[in-house]
Amino acid sequence: MKKLFSLIFPCLVLVSAYSQMQRYRDYFAGYPVKVGTATYAGSEAYNPKYCISYNPNFYKYDIYQPDPAFDKDRMRACIIFVHGGGFVGEDKIDFSEQCTQWAQRGYVVMSLNYSLAKTTQICANQLTLDKRVIYNSLQDVVAACKHILGNGTTYGINVNNVYLSGYSAGGILALSTAYITDAEVLSISPTFNQELGMLNKKTMAAYKNIPLKFKAVSAMAGAIPQINFLSIDDNTPLQLIHNEHDTTVPYGFNEPNGCNDGIKDLWGSQEIFNNLSKTSIPYAQFYTETKKTAYPIPNHVIFSSIDVKTSVANFFYSVMSNSFKTYCDHQVTNSGSTTYSIYKYDYYSSNACYYKPITARELEGATDTEAAEEFSDMGAVYPNPSRGIWSLSPDTKKGVKLISVTNKLGMLIFATDTAMDQINLENESNDIYFLSITYQDGTQKRLKIEKTEY
């Protein structure tokens, strides 16, 4: 009996702990995940003209599911992820850690493989040949997505709550899958459809007529083959994450790194974000990093200072819960500080476009409303920025219960329960700090203050 209890008790603890979490919003590291594999196409999908030697693993996807023993929901949200690798390398298994963590939030996660190109063709001296390499892989991703949507009941997913994400080459494929139509492909070259067939050519017959509709898309270091593919018909919320110095996949409009005569016209995240007003996309989020990185691929590494897995999950949850609209109530202007290397741009229905530095609380997963409130009521302290001494306005000092200051890492610098006329950080380093003021009635102000030498 004791042995049976020792087996059952840990399971009860896990179930109890998970029941207190908010599905999709919260990450539960102890949550068990089951992993399986499915096939979405066969050898008939292989195109030897553009691909390396046939590998049946090209046409498979891994399925990360919350263990049914702990999660009985059969209408779960789904994230479809497309790996990177320059169209010539990497595998779905290379991103298993982030897929597992998304599943531990409650998602069913599908990690796709697709056929890989011959390396000599990525930078061949023919622009149309390069675009065909992308198109060939795009047909694979379309086939995989339709296969997943066609088996929603089998996987216990809500097909109306499916999200698409990709990194690098996978970001290009994710954007293309979500926003490109056959008619738009023809606008590049009429021979594409003649030679390679329609977008759903590789899709199994039973799933060809299933519409591709995603709740939101997240592209990390992604791009799109033609900027005019973004049209008034596109209305899927979008997240973009990109280093502004990236040359492997261009941040703006350029050619990929190493392709002197290859794919010249790729439009990166900056160009995509700047053209959103031409679409019906209701909300977009753009993380950009200004800091150069060197390893392992120069400026192509997703930010070392931000948890991308969390950022993508938080974006999808904000779309799912319709909480992203809180940003439109707060207009924030960049002070020009170089302290932050990551900036976040938000776009909402073309009439509220602004940007702001990423804060310590957002890196820790603060909600949209909380993060926005950090920057409210900036007139409460002055001057700001300062060399180390800030004065508090008369209204700010009334009814104070507690004043505290923390640094970007959340470490407490000082705290006092006495009303003060000034905040003195002359002995601290030049940096960004957060001033928190709690009042007797329980209300609170949280303000960003900046210490500089100027």
pLDDT band at 437 (very low <50, low <70, confident <90, very high): confident
d(CA 205, CA 434): 58
Using a pLDDT cut of 70, give the percent of the chain over it.
73
**297 pLDDT more than 60:** yes
Report residue 296's pLDDT band, with 50, 70 and 90 as the boundaries.
Answer: low
- Can you give the residue ranges of every domain in the chain? 27-373, 378-450
The predicted model gives 398-413 an average pLDDT of: 76
Question: From 3.40.50.1820, 3.50.50.60, 3.90.25.10, 3.30.70.120, which CATH number describes the 27-373 domain?
Answer: 3.40.50.1820
Burial environment of residue 179 by CB neighbours within 10 A (0 to 12, 13 to 18, 19 or more): buried
The pLDDT of residue 188 is 65
pLDDT of 212 reads 94
Highest mean predicted confidence (pLDDT) among 149-163, 262-276, 281-295, 310-324:
149-163
What pLDDT is recorded for position 268? 92
With a cut of 60, say whether residue 295 has pLDDT above it: no
For 284, residues 6+ apart whose C-beta sits below 8 A from its C-beta are 237, 238, 239, 240, 273, 276, 346, 347
Range in 11-15, 112-116, 356-360 the model is least confident about: 356-360
What is the residue-averaged pLDDT of the chain? 77
pLDDT mean over 170-180: 95
- Kindly state the average pLDDT of the residues 276-294: 79
Domains 27-373 and 378-450 share a fold: no
Where does the pLDDT of residue 454 fall: very low under 50, low under 70, confident under 90, or very high at 90 and above?
low
* Weakest-pLDDT range from 160-164, 184-188, 346-350: 346-350
pLDDT (mean) for 408-425: 78
Question: pLDDT (tens digit, 9 = 90+) per residue, 228-275?
Answer: 888 888 989 999 988 888 878 888 887 665 554 445 578 999 899 888
Would you say 156 and 71 are in contact if contact means Cβ atoms under 8 Å apart?
no
- State in Å, rounded, how far the first CA of the chain is from the last one: 72
| pLDDT score for 140 | 96
- pLDDT tens, residue by residue, 24-60: 988 888 889 999 999 999 899 998 888 888 899 999 9
For the ranges 10-24, 78-92, 283-297, the maximum mean pLDDT occurs at: 78-92
Q: Which one is predicted more confidently, 345 or 90?
A: 90
- What's the CATH code, domain 378-450? 2.60.40.3080
Q: How confident is the model at residue 294 (pLDDT cuts 50, 70, 90)?
A: low
pLDDT at 274: 83
Q: What percent of the chain stands above pLDDT 90? A: 30
Instruction: Give the tens place of pLDDT for each residue, 187-239.
Output: 766 666 777 888 999 999 999 999 999 999 999 999 998 888 888 889 899 99
3-state SS of the chain is: CHHHHHHHHHHHHHHHHHHCCCCCCCCCCCCCEEEEEEECCCHHHCCCCCECCCCHHHHEEEEEEECCCCCCCCCEEEEEEECCCCCCCCCHHHHHHHHHHHHCCCCEEEEECCCCECHHHHCCCCHHHHHHHHHHHHHHHHHHHHHHHHCHHHHCEEEEEEEEEEECHHHHHHHHHHHCCHHHHHHHCCHHHHHHCCCCCCCCHHHCCCCCCCCEEEEECCEECCHHHCCCCCCCCEEEEEECCCCCCCCCEECCCCCCCCCCCEEEHHHHHHCHHHCCCCEEEEEEECCCCCCCCCCCCCCCCCCHHHHHHHHHHHHHCCCHHHHHHCCCCCCCCCCCCEEEEEEECCCCCEEEECCHHHHCCCCHHHHHHCCCCHHHEECCCECCEEEECHHHHCCEEEEEEEECCCCEEEEECCCCCEEECCCCCCCEEEEEEEECCCCEEEEEEEECCC
| Between 350 and 77, the higher pLDDT residue | 77
Average pLDDT of the residues in 382-397: 82
Q: What is the pLDDT of residues 357-381, one digit of tens each?
A: 344 344 344 443 343 344 344 457 8
Q: Of 287, 412, 435, 303, which Cα lies nearest the Cα of 357?
A: 287
pLDDT at position 71 is 78
Q: Which residue has the tokens 């997703």?
A: 302
**Average pLDDT, stretch 397-402?**
84
